[in-house]
């Protein structure tokens, strides 16, 4: 048997049935009407936001909507956070539709088209500029439509977030302007009469090591101070990035966010005077919503091959690519997985859970231990709240899209 990641502690069992919020997984399937089904539990997100607030007093929290753009979830999160970070005009519209004030929406990401820049400038959204060329296009579009663009500068940091699953800074990168070229561009933005909003420094994702995050945040603060000093311009706002990870695999331990918060608070109290008036933000996706989601998929077939047992489910990597190990991971390892019902008498067997796609990479649980399961039983895959439905190749092989619900207690939002 191969190990599986830890099931988030937010889920309980009642009479052998997996509970998600105030109802069992099977009840949610009955209410939603079918499988495969993603269920996002708002109570878990609220808990993470409360933990952030407790650890990071005085620091703003932004939701990085690319982690999960399910509209009812975004609408429920919007009033609980201080801003939403988007990376396309579509996500920007989603943030506005969720009721977020345009001045609290920031738009990063390479390759913004002119019409996306125009939409953002028109709406009063802050653009986190990714290059000198993008800055000039934004300034020209602002002049053309008679609006003062709100412009921040994303810096490609000259440091890395160590131990992060996905590096987004350090060395040659398509993201942000290289640190040594940042100050002249800040001066250019200010001289051109734009509304300069400050700096954005994002060094990586999926870090579980508090020390690595503490070091990255200190480096980001120092870099913001250095660039601002060189430019001679105090930034109204500094986005220090995010990168908080969640435990996916066996032996992963959760992040100690209170340690990170304590260290940031002390770093901020000693910050360079040029940052005295700045608002500081941390932007999080996965850490806020990843553990809140469960992907429920029904067993369609059970078969034996060369002495191994395969459970074949109605879902697959076309909905939950990350669990198959094909979304930015080097070695395939098992996400946490269970059945939605346990009977005490069932004996545990070793099975491989595969999706319904006709490709060998569609593997959701590889040689995992599950209670003996039959056709019609339902498999729960955890950590499905971030980079699931919207980050998977849904058109691949022509199966229908998954159902998605956001719940709060016993209600569907």
Ligand X SMILES: *Cc1c(COP(=O)(O)O)cnc(C)c1O
Q: Which residues bind ligand X (CB under 6 A)?
A: 64, 66-67, 85, 108, 202, 205-206, 242-243, 283-287, 386
Separation CA 332–CA 206 (nearest Å): 16
Active site (annotated) includes residue 356: no
Closest approach, Cβ 52 to ligand X, in A, equals 12
Closest approach, Cβ 154 to ligand X, in A, equals 8
User: 412 has which bridge partners?
Assistant: 407
Catalytic residue among 57, 172, 330, 358: 358
Separation CA 121–CA 147 (nearest Å): 7
Closest approach, Cβ 89 to ligand X, in A, equals 16
CA angle 404/408/411 to nearest 5° reads 80
> Based on CB atoms, which residue is closest to ligand X, 239 or 340?
239
Closest approach, Cβ 202 to ligand X, in A, equals 4
Closest residue to ligand X, Cβ-based?
285
Phi, psi dihedrals of residue 246, rounded to the nearest 5°: -125, 150
Exposed/middle/buried for 321, CB within 10 Å: 0-12, 13-18, 19+?
A: buried
Nearest of 44, 121, 120, 105 to residue 281 by alpha carbon: 105
Nearest of 231, 147, 223 to residue 183 by alpha carbon: 231
> Based on CB atoms, which residue is closest to ligand X, 240 or 311?
240
Closest approach, Cβ 368 to ligand X, in A, equals 25
Separation CA 86–CA 210 (nearest Å): 26
Closest approach, Cβ 358 to ligand X, in A, equals 31
Nearest of 181, 189, 114, 92 to residue 148 by alpha carbon: 189
> Based on CB atoms, which residue is closest to ligand X, 186 or 386?
386
Q: How far is CA 101 from CA 60, 76, 83, 111, in A?
A: 15, 14, 8, 24
> Based on CB atoms, which residue is closest to ligand X, 67 or 98?
67
> Based on CB atoms, which residue is closest to ligand X, 29 or 108?
108
> Based on CB atoms, which residue is closest to ligand X, 207 or 379?
207
Q: State in Å, rounded, how far the first CA of the chain is from the last one.
A: 39
**Cβ-proximal residues to 360 (8 Å cutoff; 6+ apart), any chain:** none
CA 151 to chain centre: 24
Q: Mind telling me the catalytic residues? A: 358
């Amino acid at each position: 048997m191969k190990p599986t990641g830890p099931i988030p502690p937010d889920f309980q069992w009642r009479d052998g049935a997996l509970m998600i919020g105030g109802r069992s997984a099977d009840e949610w399937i009955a209410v939603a009407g079918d499988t495969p089904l993603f269920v996002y539990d708002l109570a878990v997100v609220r808990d993470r936001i409360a933990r952030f607030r407790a650890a990071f007093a005085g620091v703003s929290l932004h939701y990085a909507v690319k982690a999960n753009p399910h509209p009812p979830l975004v609408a429920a999160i919007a009033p609980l956070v201080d801003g939403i970070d988007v990376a396309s005009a579509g996500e920007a519209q989603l943030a506005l539709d969720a009721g977020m004030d345009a001045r609290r929406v920031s738009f990063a990401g390479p390759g913004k088209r002119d019409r996306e820049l125009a939409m953002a400038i028109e709406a009063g959204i802050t653009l986190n500029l990714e290059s000198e060329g993008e800055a000039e296009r934004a300034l020209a579009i602002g002049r053309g439509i008679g609006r003062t663009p709100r412009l921040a500068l994303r810096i490609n940091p000259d440091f890395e977030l160590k131990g992060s699953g996905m590096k987004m800074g350090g060395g040659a990168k398509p993201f942000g302007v290289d640190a040594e070229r940042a100050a002249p561009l800040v001066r250019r933005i200010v001289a051109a009469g734009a509304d300069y909003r400050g700096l954005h420094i994002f060094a990586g994702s999926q870090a579980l090591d508090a020390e690595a995050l503490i070091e990255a945040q200190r480096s980001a603060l120092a870099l913001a101070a250095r660039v601002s000093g060189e430019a001679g311009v105090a930034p109204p706002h500094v986005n220090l990035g995010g990168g908080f990870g969640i435990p996916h695999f066996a032996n992963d331990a959760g992040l100690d966010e209170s340690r990170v918060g304590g260290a940031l608070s002390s770093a901020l109290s000693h910050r360079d005077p040029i940052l005295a008036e700045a608002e500081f933000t941390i932007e999080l996706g996965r850490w806020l919503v990843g553990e809140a989601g469960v992907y429920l998929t029904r067993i369609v077939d059970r078969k034996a091959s060369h002495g191994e047992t395969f459970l074949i489910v109605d879902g697959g990597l076309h909905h939950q690519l990350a669990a198959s190990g094909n979304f930015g991971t080097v070695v395939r390892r098992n996400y946490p997985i269970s059945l939605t019902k346990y009977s005490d008498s069932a004996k545990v067997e070793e099975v491989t859970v595969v999706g319904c796609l006709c490709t060998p990479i569609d593997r959701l649980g590889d040689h995992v231990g599950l209670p003996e399961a039959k056709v019609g039983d339902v498999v729960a895959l955890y950590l499905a709240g971030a980079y699931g439905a919207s980050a998977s190749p849904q058109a691949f092989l022509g199966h229908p899209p998954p159902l998605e619900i956001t719940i709060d207690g016993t209600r569907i939002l």
